[in-house]
Every structure is written in structure tokens, then in C-alpha cells.
Amino acid sequence: MGKVVGAALLAHVPTIMLPQDVRYDLNEGKEISLVPGLKRLREEVMETLDYDTVVVLDSHWATTVEFVITAHAERSGLFTSEELPRGMSQIPYAFRGDPELANAVANYDEKNGTWVTPISDPHLPIFYATVNLWHYLGRGLDKRWVSLSVCQTATTEDFLRAGRALGEAIRDSDRKVLLLASGALSHTFYKLRDLRKHESSDPSHIFSPEARAADLERIEWMKQGDHKRILDTMDEFKKFKPEANFSHWLQMAGATGEEANTAKGVMYSEYENSIGTGQVHVYFPEPEGGFPPPKNVTLSREDAA
């Protein structure tokens, strides 16, 4: 019987891939806490935890009519970002995939009223929300890495359903899985002519005081293990445009029992700005007794159809 052995909300911002001297120049002469945070997470979790597979809930991979999960036996190549090639250019990546787990997820999608398609096409693009985290957390560890897309036509309920399907597939496998929700909190950028005034990581540069307050409120709930409160206030949080409608966190929640999950978050970075957006690393260790199973929801006739 498989299980989720750890979960995290992690920032993947391009800044973490810049040379140290450039990062210092952008951040008033000091390091952004996201970089040492990833290094510490690798040392304390990735190199010590007993796990087989990492599933990245990739907020940058937008699909349209379904969720897609990577089903390759292996992926390798050089990654250059179409969004910011100056900072992310020809980054090498090479890791094993987990076709067995990826294909298993499709056995649980219709049961949960959603659509998840495994794809193993070798030409399928890869995105920096996966590559940047693998660069820090996966290199040299020979673990399986899989990515799950965000469906851009999905709602909060759809993200939870995809997470439930993933959670059921993990439960009925023999895999120990680490979930990485790769993405931001509030996510509004400054306009081009202004954004270079706001490259410091100091939270005072978050796009608005209200967005900053909403982010900090949810971080506090994560630390308390109050996942229910975050779920109950999603409509309120959407006013501050969380990245990809907070799909990455919601998929993670769906796989780990939603409101029944009381795992307390451990901070692996400070709360930081990235040109207006809210960034943080929070790790949720497996609680005593394990993460709750995915929520079993009875679907309506309309859902079933």
C-alpha cells in the first residue's frame, strides 16, 4: 500500500537560477532566503526521507481540456525558458519517471468526476516549475520525478478532484510519494516600467498590502495545520490572484485529505516578494498516523455524466 510521505508548497521563481552575484545585486546586497531554503530542504528532507517518487504539481504547465500527467520512463535534455531565457538557459536535466504510477492515476479520474491523461511523448515540453525544483532538490539522488499539469479551464473543485485521483492512485500503489506544489501565493506582477523598482525580496514590495496580508494569513494557517480554513476561504483568496488559481496547493490538498489534513507546515524560507508576487517554502511532514486518505465524494448525476 502506497502513501504520501511528505508535501510542500515551494517557490520556483526564476531568481533562484541566477548566479549568486546577480541575486545579490537584485536584492540590496544580500541573498534571497529561497535559495538557502531549498538547499536546507534537500539536506534535511530530500536526502534523508524514505520515498520513491516525487510528483510536482506544476503551476506553469497549462493544459485545456484535461489534466495531464507525465508518463515517461525517463526525461532528459537542456531547458531554456521561453519566458525568461536570460536567466534560465540550457539548464541540463535528467531523471527517471514513474510510468506505472502516472498510468494508474487515469484509473481514478472518472470515479472522481475529472479527466487525467498520462502522456509519454518524448517531445512533450517541460516547464521551469519542475526543472528549477529538480535542479536544487533532485540532482544526483536518482529518484523518480513526475509532473501533473494545471488545467486552465478547471475550478477549485476540479483541482481538488484531480488531487483525489492522484491520492487514490498513490494509496493503491506500492509507492512512497513526496508531493511538491510548485507555485506562488498571491501573483500580481508590477507593470514593466515599474517592476525593476520592486526586485528586492522584502515583502513591502508585494503588489498590495491586502495581498500581503492574505498571503501571511494563509501561511499562518499552514503553520497551524489549518488546511480547512484555507479551503473555506478560497473565494476570498482568489481576489488576490493566487498563481494558477492556487491549483498546485489545491491538488496537494485533494491528495492529502483536504479539511481532514492537520499536518503542520514547517517554514523553509521567509515570506518574500518577487516583482509583486508572494513566495515561500513550506514543508508538511507526514503527521503521526499518516496523511488522511483522499476524500470520498459521491458525485451527482451531472458529474457522473
pLDDT tens digits, one per residue of 202-211? 999 999 999 9
What pLDDT digit, counting tens, does each position of 114-148 carry?
Answer: 999 999 999 999 999 999 999 999 999 999 999 99
Q: What is the mean pLDDT of residues 233-243?
A: 98
Query: DSSP alpha helices (H): ranges in the chain?
Result: 20-26, 34-41, 99-105, 128-137, 156-171, 192-195, 209-224, 227-232, 234-237, 247-255, 301-304
Q: Taking 90 as the threshold, does the pLDDT of residue 191 lie above it?
A: yes
In terms of Cβ atoms closer than 10 Å to its own Cβ (0-12, 13-18, 19+), residue 121 is exposed
